Amino acid sequence: MRSDGKIPVDGLLTRADHVLTCDASFRVFSPGAVAFHRGTIVAVGPCSELEERYAAKETWSLQGHLLLPGLVNTHVHAAMSLFRGVGDDLPLHHWLHERIFPAESRFVRPQFVHLGTLLSCVEMVLGGTTTFCDGYFFEESAADAAERIGMRAVLGQGVLNFPTPDVPDPARIADRVAAFLESFSRRPSRLTPSLFCHAPYSCTPETLQWAKDLCRDHGLLFQIHVSETAWEVQEIQSRYGRSPVRLLKDLGILDKRTLCAHAVWVDEEEIQILAQTRAGVSHSLESNLKLASGIAPLPAMIGAGIPIGLGTDGCASNNDLDLFSEMSLAAKIHKAAFDDPTVCSARQVLLMATQGGARALGLGGIIGSLEVGKRADLVAVDMDQAHLTPLYDPVSHLVYAARSSDVRHVWVDGVPIVRDGTVQNLDVSQVLGEARTLARKIRTALFQP
């Protein structure tokens, strides 16, 4: 306590036109403020109250801005931004086997993953994403990139039963995973390891159970693509006599520390299985649309109470990492697909991009809403713009009218990693230059054989 009676804190974000807490009662303060200290939120409320109570090392005056929790991207293959646009307008199986797998076997190395993840981190933070859940190869290099830019991340080491760029001999996967997990003993706590089993068709039941057991032993999130396409469901049905979700349930894979990416082709009973096991779902809509995989029954999954977050998937199938466009699309397409304009409201979709995503990743206790005790991951959106004027409902504007380019400031653990639309502590032009240089080699190899 200081002599003037004020409590010293590291940061005070005040005079925001609106503070959307995205908490359980969806409190909104207009105008509002947030105070944080040592990376943790210590107060959220009316700005006059917080200005009276706290003296901050740094105070941000945010007139014309809206404050909300940092967005959570629950399904990414970040390094694949270097393959953005190499295989468009193709069905998933052809895209994967004719374009992506050959390109990955030729180019994916630790330096590739570091550069591609850095590029993705730049795109994500500039668009208000503070946490991402990744799944790829050489994930130590993805962790290096996330650490450098200051993001929060769940980093899933890829596990498959066929040769991959970092495990040419699938029999050595256990050694690879052990080395990966060991590397996290030296990471900041905002970076957590995970295992990412590619899919029920690319991992054997024994591998799935081995990876899940390992995740249980270490308290890690288990990630997997599930029921992404009709082909996958038929394939798993013919191999195992049951659907992918039922297979995972029978193998004991589904629980609250399992994240199912996609879940497009799931029936009513499978939705109940996901809800009862408390498994999370990453709704990766744009990727599902671009690959014509289908449209997930999102309203039914929301109704069943499944923890659902939004995911962009990798840049090779989206082709960006923009959660604002994912929110807008998710709030609209299900209305048309299910002939009901009342489903997937702006509020429900915003909650998926924040606390829903955090819950699906098992991080609901520390991020996803602006509440005392949670980490200070925040985004300030500049609302003083023609396409956001007039403003009657901030939630409506965020989902239906705002763009990722409207994000001005971003904090993770109370550290400003984007100020005035500029990424801090990183030479972005150098990252873009290196990406273009590598892309010239990829272009030559893939398109001029």
Q: What is the dihedral of CA 250, 268, 332, 391, to 10 degrees?
A: -90
Any known ligand binding at 175? no
Supply 324's token pair. Answer: 């604002």
Interaction between residue 104 and Zn ion (CB under 5 A): no
CB nearer to Zn ion: give 286 or 313.
Answer: 313
- List, in order, residues 6 or more apart from 2 with CB less than 8 Å away: 8, 55
Least Cα distance to 379 among 118, 133, 46, 125 occurs for: 125
Least Å distance, CB 271 to Zn ion, is 20
CB nearer to Zn ion: give 236 or 370.
Answer: 236
Any known ligand binding at 225? yes
Any known ligand binding at 75? yes
Interaction between residue 377 and Zn ion (CB under 5 A): no
Interaction between residue 134 and Zn ion (CB under 5 A): no
- Which residues, listed in sequence order, are joined to residue 20 by a DSSP beta bridge? 28
CB nearer to Zn ion: give 166 or 313.
Answer: 313
Other beta carbons less than 10 A from residue 111's beta carbon:
13
The window from 22-30, 146-154, 244-252, 306-314 that contacts Zn ion (CB under 5 A) reads: 306-314
Any known ligand binding at 228? yes
Least Å distance, CB 43 to Zn ion, is 38
Least Cα distance to 207 among 190, 229, 186, 224 occurs for: 224
CB nearer to Zn ion: give 139 or 313.
Answer: 313
- List, in order, residues 6 or more apart from 194 with CB less than 8 Å away: 133, 135, 154, 155, 156, 157, 215, 220, 221, 222, 223
Any known ligand binding at 104? yes
Interaction between residue 313 and Zn ion (CB under 5 A): yes
Least Å distance, CB 76 to Zn ion, is 8
Distance CA 312, CA 47 (A): 34
Interaction between residue 322 and Zn ion (CB under 5 A): no
Asked whether 223 and 196 are in contact (CB, 8 A), the reply is yes
Which stretches of the chain bind Zn ion, using CB under 5 A?
313
Binding residue numbers for substrate: 104, 198, 228, 313
Q: List binding-site positions for Zn(2+).
A: 75, 77, 225, 313
